[in-house]
Amino acid sequence: MLVVNTPGTWRHVYPPLLHAEWHGWTPTDTIFPFFLFIVGVSMAFSFGRRLEEQGDRRHLFIHLVRRSVVIFLLGLAMNVASFFLFGREHLRIPGVLQRIGLCILIADLIHLVLGRRLLLPAAAVLLVLYWSLLTFVPVPGLGTGRLDPGGDNLAGWVDRAILGPHTWKPGWDPEGPLSTIPAAATTLLGVAAGEGLRRRPLSGPTLVGLMGCGAVALSLGAIWGVAHPINKNLWTSSYALFMAGMAAVALAICLWLVDVRGWKSWGAPFRWLGKNALAIFMTSLLATLLLLAVRLPTADGKGRSLYGVLYRTLFDRFADPRLGSLLFALTFTGVFVGLAGLLDRKRIYVRV
C-alpha cells in the first residue's frame, strides 16, 4: 500500500501500480482485499484464544466494538487532518481505516453470534444480498442493474443519500456504506480460512485444502464476473469472491514456504510491518500529508510541496520518469520498513 500510495508523481506511474479505472483489476486491486482477508484470518486466531481464555462473550463483544470504533476514528482523524491542511471544501467521512473498522466489527459479530460453522453461509448471504441490490433495486433516474462509472449506480446513490458531499469523489466513494457489505464478506471468508487453519495441524494436506478452496473461490468469482463485473470501486460480489480466493492461494503458498519449508529469513521486513501494521500505516499517511502540505518557494513564485521538491531533486533523473517515480515510492517505503524494524528490535508494538 505504501508503494502504491506514494509515487513521486501520479502523472508517471507504471500501469500495474494503478487501480483499474472501473471494471477489471490490476495487481494494485489485490492489496485491500488481501489485507481484509488476512485480517479475518488473524481474527480467527485471536478471537478463539480470547474466547477460550475469558469465556465471557459480553466482555468480548465490548472489546470488539471498542477496537472497531477506535480504528474508525483513527481513519476519520486522518481525513480531518487532510481537510484542514489542504483547505478542502468538504470533510470526507469514509476511508480505508474506516472500512477496516466496520468490516472487523461486522465479521466479528457474525462470528460471535453464529459461530464458526455458519461463517461461509453468512459470507454467501452477504455476497448474494449485495449482488441482488445492485442488480434488482432501481436507482432513481437510472433504472435497475446499472454499474456505470462514478456515482451512476445504487452504491453511489446510497453514498449521496447518507454521506451527502462528504465523499472522496463528488457523488460517490469507493469505501461507501453499501459496498462495505461485500467487503465484510471478504473478511468473513478470511475468518473461515483462519478457523480451518486453527483447528488442523499445519501440514501439506491442510495447505492443499486451503489452496483448493481458494482456487474454487477464485474460479467462481471469475465466472460470476462475466455477468457481474469484477470491480474494486464498487467492491462487486464477484470481485470479493475472486480476490478472497486469490488471497487464500497466496496464503497457502506463504505458509508452505515459511512454516513447512522453513524459508523464513526473506520474510523479516514483512514481519516487522505486520507487527505494527496500524502504526506504520498511520505514520506513513501523516508523513505524506505533511510532505504535501509544506510548501517551498520556487523561481516562478508558485511554490511547490516538499514532497514534489524531494522527487524532482533526487529522483526525477531518468529518461523514463516512471522509474524515478517508482524509486521515490520504494525509498519512502524503505524508510518505514526501517522504522518497523527498529520498533520490532525494541519490542515496541502498537495495539488497538
Secondary structure (DSSP) of 321-334: HHHHHHHHHHHHHH
pLDDT of residue 54: 63
Rounded CA-CA distance 210/345 in Å is 33
pLDDT of residue 55: 63
Look up the pTM and report it.
0.93
Angle at 227 between CA 167 and CA 224, to 5 degrees: 90
What cell was used for 330? 520504494
Q: Give the residue carrying C-alpha cell 470491480.
A: 231
pLDDT of residue 352: 79
pLDDT of residue 133: 97
Write out residues in the chain with pLDDT < 70, as ranges: 52-55
pLDDT of residue 176: 95
What cell was used for 6? 506514494
Domain residue limits, the chain: 27-263, 264-352
Contact 108, 42 (CB under 8 A): no
